[in-house]
Structure 1
Amino acid sequence: MEWIKVFDENFQWIGEDTRENVHQQGKWHETFHCWFVDRQFIYVQKRSDAKSDFPSLFDITAAGHLEATEKVEDGVREIEEELGVNVQFSRLTSVGVVRDIIKLPGFCDYEFAHVFIYVSSFEPTDFILQEGEVDSIHEIEKEDFIRLCSQEVNKVKCRNIMLDTVTEIGLDDFVPHHSSYFEAIAKKLAFV
């Protein structure tokens, strides 16, 4: 059973609870989000179709819950677990804490997301994807992604870097993060 810290809406720590309870009862908690970018592209993952939550949807390059015993810096384990990429925390650029809410029947995800950007160049061979978690890694033109997050366009081209195939996707193909989350990410990416 995974235990995570619980906070009030002002990001004040109030205790711990299980991940299951946190999502059933809509309690605020911490997550770690890391977006991979280079000069031209932003990289997103396509979640495995075996995932219990949001299978086969596109999402943040690497992300996950911070366990009750972890500090924000420990979130880099998500990058290594999901993508097989070993990144030093000092190489990440913080863009702050972004509130993210996903509300669905029986599922209320209230996150204080510690959002980071990792700037580097990437090759398909850089990634060793966690089976059952991540299906593939895709690149989207950074400017196109910003316009998508800002809802200036409905679709963007997305290239699977492993298979070298291109498809068009929209925000409805992503995990249903709140629109304010996508807008906050677009503003942060505009300066990278």
Structure 2
Amino acid sequence: MTERLKVFDEDYRYIGEETRDMVHEKGLWHETFHCWLVDETNVYIQKRSYAKKDFPGLYDITAAGHLLASEKVMDGIREVEEELGITVDSAKLLKAGVVRDVIRLPGFIDKEFTNVFLYQSTFSPTDFSLQKEEVEGIYTVLINDLKALFQNERYRVLCTNLMDGVQGEATLNDFVPHETDYFNKVAEMLEREK
């Protein structure tokens, strides 16, 4: 089945529908759902599966995905459940805002209105059931460190694998290449909700 997405103008006004492939080929504006899981001190980030077509093995938003033409923004919660196996209490989901984000690659232009949410709770390794074709692993980064990385106040951060506790360092080059403005806005949202 071919996925269809809602298409918008630059001012986020609905103008129709198109297939996902055509949306990216033509660089049309569309909606996505981004959910950052946080606890008192950490942000949880995913490492994308090495089997992914786009940005394999890079760090990214805890859970995110495209919203289909038939879906409302809150239907994006399914991404958290599908990718991570986490059941989200929608009453605890905090809408942080809508951020424009553009990623350009040869033959691929991803122009998104990202509906960004924060979900604060406590998590343990047993809470997660990862969709392996999508997610390689879940890592924690201190909130202040990730904010500093996103705002170019720090060159590298310590990432801890939630499942086995193994630690490693990451730079911004180890993340999916979202726009600088996207990273700055997420950093501001994390600061507001501390």
TM-score class, shorter-chain normalisation, is: over 0.9
Q: For residues 103-182 of structure 1, what are the structure 2 equivalents within 5 Å?
A: 103-182=104-183
In 2, Cα distance between equivalents of 1:74 and 1:91: 15
Partners of 1:45 and 1:138 within 8 A in 2: yes
Structure 2 partner of 1:21: 22
Q: TM-score scaled by structure 2?
A: 0.98
Q: Deviations over 1:39-69 (max 9, x none)?
A: 1000000000001111111000000000000
Equivalent residue, structure 2, for 1:57: 58
Could you list the runs of 5+ residues in structure 1 that have no partner in the other structure?
Answer: none
After TM superposition, the score normalised by the length of structure 1 is 0.99
SS of residue matched to 1:121? coil
Match of 1:48 in 2: 49
- TM-fit CA distance, 1:88: 2.4
Corresponding letter in the other structure for 1:57? L
Contact 1:49 1:135 (8 Å CA) reproduced: yes
Q: Is the 8 A contact 1:76 1:88 kept in 2?
A: no
Matches for 1:72-91 after TM superposition, within 5 Å = 72-91=73-92
CA distance in 2, matches of 1:103, 1:181: 14
Deviation at 1:4, TM superposition (A): 0.4
Matched residue SS, 2:129? coil
> Does the aligned pair in 2 maintain the 1:124–1:161 contact within 8 Å?
yes
Q: Distance in 1 between matches of 2:48 and 2:64?
A: 11
Shift of 1:91: 1.5
Alpha-carbon distance in structure 2 between the residues aligned to 1:171 and 1:110: 20
Partner AA of 1:158 in structure 2 = C
Residues paired across the two proteins, number? 192
Structure 2 unaligned residues grouped into runs of 5+ = none
Q: How big is the alpha-carbon RMSD for the aligned residues of Structure 1 and Structure 2?
A: 0.6
Kindly indicate whether residue 66 of structure 2 is the aligned counterpart of residue 92 of structure 1.
no
SS in 2 for 1:17: strand
Identity level (%): 54
Give CA deviations for 1:81-126 in whole Å, capped at 9, x if unaligned: 0000111222100111010110111110000000000000110111
CA distance in 1, matches of 2:137, 2:15: 37
Deviating beyond 3 angstroms after TM superposition, the runs of 4 or more aligned structure 1 residues are none
